[in-house]
Amino acid sequence: MQYVKNEWIKMWSQKNAWIMLVIVLGMLALVTGINKYYETPSATTEERLQANEEMLSHYKEMSMMEDMTVEDIAYYNEEILKVEYRIANDLPAEHTNTILSHMNFAVTLSIMMVSIFTTVIAAGIVSNEFGTGTIKMLLTRPVARWKILLSKLVTSVLYGLTSLAVALIFSLALGFILYNNDGAVMLSVVDGQVVEQVLENTIAETILYSLAALVMTTIFAFMIGSLFGSSTLAVSLSLFILLMGQTATMFLAQYDFAKYIWFANDLTYYAPGNSPMIEGLTFGFSVVVNIVYAIVFLAITFGYFMKRDVTA
C-alpha cells in the first residue's frame, strides 16, 4: 500500500495528470453549455406538445416521400408511434434535455475521454522511468520488482477510476444547475406496442460495462509501456492500437477467428443501445475472452519486467 501511495503522489506531482483531468472537465462543461443553448423548451405542457407535434409532422412527411425502402417506412412508422405516445402521456420530446438525458450523454463522453487519458498515463508510467533513468534508483531498493510494477499498475487503474468519478460528479452538478428534474424516458416499439425504458437503468449499466472496459484498456496500455523504453513510442503505439482496434475488427468480422479478438469482445458493446460487432457473441463468452487476455497481458508484462536488464 505504501508503494501505491508513493506512485500516487508522484503521478499527481506531474502537470500532465492535472492537465488531462482539466481537459475532461472543460470539454464536459463546453458540450453541456452548447446542448443547453440549443435545447428544446419543455418546461410547460404547451411547450412539450408543440415540440412533439413538430416531430410528428416531420416523421409523417418523411414516411410519405418517394423511393422509400420498406425498412425506411417501418422506421418512420415506429417513430410516429413513439411521438404519438409522448403526446398522449405528456412526455418531453425525444431530443429534449433533462438531467437524466444529460447524464446519459455525459457518461459516454466522459468514458471516451478518460479512457484515452488513462491510456497515456498507463503507457507512460513505466516507460518514463526508463527514459529518465530513475528506474535504476527504484530497483536498487530492497523491494521485489513485481511489487514496484504492481504499484504502478494499481496507480494507473486508480487514476482512470478517479478521473471518471470526478467527471461524473461534475456532470451531475452541471445537470442539477442547468436542467430540470423531469425523468427522461427512452421509448422503443415491441410487437407494435410502445415500451418505456427509464434512463436511470441504462446509465448504471453503461457505467458498469465501461468500468470493466477501462480496466482492460489500462492493462493493455500498461503492458505496451512496460515493453518499450520510450514513453513517446509507448503512448503513441497504445493509442494507435486502441483507436484502430474497432476498425480492424470490422474488416476481420467475416472470419471465424475474429470472435476471439479482444477488441471484438469489448464489454461496452453490451451496454444499453449497443450490440456486439460480431453476430453470435454473448456476454459470458466476452467476459471469458477478456479474462484470458488480461492474464496474458499481465503475464507478458510481469515476466518481461522481472527479467529486464536495467544496468545499461
Reported as a single tens digit per residue, the pLDDT across 186-212 is 777 877 788 876 555 677 888 888 888
Inside any domain, residue 55: no
* CA–CA gap between residue 227 and residue 233 (Å, rounded): 10
Q: How far is CA 210 from CA 49, 216, 252, in A?
A: 36, 10, 24
- Return the SS3 of 186: strand
Structural domain tally of the chain?
A: 1
Which residue segment(s) compose the domain that 10 sits in?
Answer: 2-39+97-307
In a domain, 49, yes or no: no
SS3 (DSSP) at 189: strand
Instruction: Outline where 133-144 has alpha helix (H).
Output: 135-139
With bands split at pLDDT 50, 70 and 90, how would you rate the model's confidence at 271? confident
120 in Cβ contact with 235 (< 8 Å): yes
Report if residue 65 sits inside a domain: no
Q: Is 166 exposed, middle or buried (0-12, 13-18, 19+ CB in 10 A)?
A: middle
State how far the Cα of 297 lies from the Cα of 276, in Å rounded to an integer: 23
Half-sphere exposure of 212 toward its Cβ, with a 13 Å CA cutoff? Answer: 20
pLDDT tens for 275-312 read 787 877 888 999 999 999 999 999 999 998 888 766 54
| Gyration radius of the chain's alpha carbons | 24
Residue 185, φ and ψ in degrees, nearest 5: -120, 130
- The verdict on residue 232 lying in a domain is yes
Neighbours of 281 (CB within 10 A): 18
Residue 181 has pLDDT above 70, yes or no: no
Spatial distance between the Cα atoms of 170 and 244, rounded to a whole number of angstroms: 30
**What is the Cα–Cα distance from 242 to 253, expressed in whole angstroms?**
17
**Cα 208–chain centre separation:** 10
What is d(CA 245, CA 264) in angstroms, rounded to the nearest whole number? 8
- Please compute the mean of the pLDDT values over residues 45-72 and round it to a whole number: 84
22: amino acid identity, one letter: V
Q: How confident is the model at residue 137 (pLDDT cuts 50, 70, 90)?
A: confident
Min mean pLDDT across 20-24, 66-70, 117-121, 171-175 is at: 66-70
Residue 284 in domain: yes
Distance CA 227, CA 307 (A): 11
**Is the residue at 73 inside a domain?**
no
Residue 82 in domain = no
The answer to the question of residue 75 being in a domain is no
Residue 270 has pLDDT above 70, yes or no: yes
Q: What element of type H or E holds 234?
A: helix 231-252
Cα–Cα dist 187/55, whole Å: 15
Residue 90 three-state SS: coil
